[in-house]
Amino acid sequence: MKKMVVLTGAGMSAESGISTFRDSGGLWEQYRVEDVATPEGYARNPQLVLDFYNQRRKQLGEVQPCRGHELLASLESAYDVTVVTQNVDNLHERAGSRRVIHLHGELMKVTSSRNPNDVRCIRELTPEHCEIAWGDRAADGSQLRPFIVWFGEAVPLIEKAIEEVERADVFVVIGTSLNVYPAAGLLNYVPEGVPVFLIDPNTVGWHSSRPVVHIRKGASEGMAELIRLLKNYNL
């Protein structure tokens, strides 16, 4: 089986009803990144940050994977697919994707404030009990916090993602503005000669000389088009 690596961003989940970050009306117009997505913001006002992610979790429970997520999962019958996602939602998994690397953490998981990457402290919430409160403790006794990689924090899974990208036979990028590193830099690890496809209705800041087939459509229509193109390209 050919190895397909797919890098996804917020645009992948837009058709499920989760807003993106940087499009007009996006989350970063409604909230300040520094307040809700940095360790400094959390230290300043933890309640605001806990509430923000409690809300995000509640919203996630109310949405479903879109056709794009489903078509991507269906490709696993023909390809060895690894999804590298910047998204913290679980819509890839709920659509049936089996190998998903969450670079920026997972919304449904919570962890220790003292050592967020201590596996003994990471646990998964259920849709029924998806809120955390000030005073809730992790296994190490520290305040429970969202298992989210905030700006300024290390991205522990990037090495694993690079290893996957370096072995790709086909590389696909879906719904990311490629503004955030190290995720955006993964493109630089795609082996020479490997075809690259981009699904995004808008123009993306493509800081690479690499040729790319841009499918200018949303995630669902774009995935359907990709599946047609893969056949044409004999991939």
Q: How far is the CB of 195 from ligand APR (least distance, A)?
A: 19
Among 45, 115, 188, 202, binds ligand APR (CB under 6 A): 202
Alpha carbon of residue 94 to chain centroid: 14
Q: Among all residues, whose Cβ is closest to ligand APR?
A: 11
Site string for ligand APR, 181-200 (x = CB under 6 A): ------------------xx
Site string for ligand APR, 21-50 (x = CB under 6 A): xxx--x------------------------
Question: Would residue 207 show up in a list of annotated catalytic residues for this protein?
Answer: no
Would you say the C-alpha torsion 168, 171, 175, 179 has a positive or negative sign?
A: positive
Burial of 206 (0-12, 13-18, 19+ CB in 10 A): middle
CB under 6 A: which stretch of 43-51, 129-137, 155-163, 201-209 binds ligand APR? 201-209
Residue at token pair 């006002």: 45
Please report whether residue 65 would count as binding ligand APR according to CB under 6 A. no
Catalytic: which of 69, 92, 104, 214? 104
Element of type H or E holding 51: helix 46-61
Cis bond upstream, residue 182 (ω within 30): yes
